[in-house]
Chain A
Amino acid sequence: MTDQHPVELILARGLATNLTTAVFLVDANGTLLFFNEPAGALLGVQFEEAGPMAADEWSARFTPTTPNGEPLPVAELPLALAMGGRAAHAPMRIQSATGEVRDIEVTAFPLAGRSGQTGALAIFWDRSG
């Protein structure tokens, strides 16, 4: 039986849908729940096509590295830090689903509701020029 997401995540998705900044939304387990169209443009795939995916799946699929191309441990990703309860910001390089390499900056912060932390939200800033 399907359970609804906490209202903070529902409202966050509603906000993200209406933003022109790229937004990536995960639940308390790090599972990708949604990314909006601007994020889809950076990732080379739209959410409707990609669908929800577990943390290890999305972190592998978009292969985030340092700006120099060195491996970036999943635990050091801003979203992973936000899952731990604090805001984080980092420059990184990702490979889109179409193989395009993009330099972005990621700002992530936890979403904490009255029942505790329900997820985290990341904003992607395109620095590829």
Chain B
Amino acid sequence: MRVRICGTRGSVPTPGLASTRYGGNTSCAHVTLSDGTHVILDAGTGIRNVDLDGADAPVHVLLTHLHLDHIQGLLFFAPLFEPGAEVTIWGPAAGAIPLRNRIGRYMSAPLTPVEIRELPSRLEFRNCPIGEWRLGSARIHAEAVIHRGPTLGFRIEDADATLCYLPDHEPALIGPLEEMGDEWLSGYTLARDSDLLIHDAQYTDEEYPAHSGWGHSATAHVVEFAARCRVARTVFFHHDPSHTDEQLDQVLNDGRERWADRGRDPATLELAREETVLDVGVPVA
């Protein structure tokens, strides 16, 4: 399984000189499964960076939730404008309103010049099943996690490798993580023993108290969560738009110090950076 980070930022695109190293596009990761199936995790503005390399195989877009920073790039996803291209968009169910209609609130006038019905691709919208299901060569496990509004996290198991994707997640909303049993830890079943965890790390520990309840995590939370879940490699994701590259360097240093304090190799904790390619398990040819 190969993961290419296409957008790292949370909340709002953050172009400019202060974000050139870690990137300013909002959340998106392109996963290539061992059988070549393309899975796009979230459709922030980073989806414009997705390179399908001319593949005409079906594409699956898995949306964790429908906040704008996770769907804004949909209208700029090239396959949607290719006649005959097969694209399936999976997202969390919410009440009786179909996923297509909910996304259509964004992809319609007056917000956009193009309506969903005008897209020439073979576009399908499907409620993402809760629990385990198969997609290409992978076993997908989706569960609701703590964030504002209906939000999913994903565990993707493929060819003996496991990726966990929790871009917007605030497990500490319930209380101190270190005082919680594993059964009360949001996202635990998805993340445990995974080879790679991509996790929300929007705030510093100092910033978090003023943002408690906004649906995101602080550095200390991610380190504690990753350690509890026995994750092999952790990538901080969903960078706060107010954080410059230099501030993110400090977030990384802080995280690595905490990781090392737990006896873990600091090199196994990283910050998401646009265009980074991460091989999980056997490299994809």
Contacts and interface: CB of A to CB of B under 8 A. Distances in A.
Interface of A: 1-8, 10-11, 13-14, 17, 113-115
B182 interface: yes
Given A4-B185, A4-B188, A114-B92, A10 B131 contact: no
A5 B186 CA distance: 8
A10 B146 contact: yes
Nearest to A118: B144
Contacts of B150: 114
A113 B131 CA distance: 13
Q: How large is the interface on B (under 10, 10 to 19, 20 to 34, 35 or more residues)?
A: 20 to 34
B183 interface: yes
A14 B146 CA distance: 11
Contact of A114 (B93, B173, B181): B93
Nearest to A6: B144
26 contacts: A1-B192, A3-B189, A4-B182, A4-B184, A4-B185, A4-B186, A4-B187, A5-B183, A6-B143, A7-B143, A7-B144, A7-B186, A10-B174, A10-B186, A14-B173, A14-B174, A14-B175, A17-B174, A17-B175, A113-B130, A113-B144, A114-B92, A114-B93, A115-B130, A115-B131, A115-B144
A36 to B, nearest CB: 12
A5 B187 CA distance: 10
A4 B164 CA distance: 15
A102 to B, nearest CB: 28
Task: Tell me the dominant secondary structure on chain B's binding face.
Answer: loop
Contacts of A4: 182-189
Contact of A13 (B143, B174, B189): B174
Nearest to B180: A10
Contacts of A17: 174-175
Contacts of A3: 183, 189
Given A3-B183, A4-B184, 6 more contacts: A3-B189, A5-B183, A10-B146, A14-B174, A113-B130, A113-B144
Nearest to B182: A2
B145 A7 contact: yes
Interface string B83-101: 0000000001110000000
Contacts of B189: 3-4
Contacts of A6: 143-144
B144 A5 contact: no
7 shortest A-B CB distances, which residue pairs? A14-B174, A115-B130, A4-B188, A7-B144, A2-B182, A4-B189, A114-B93
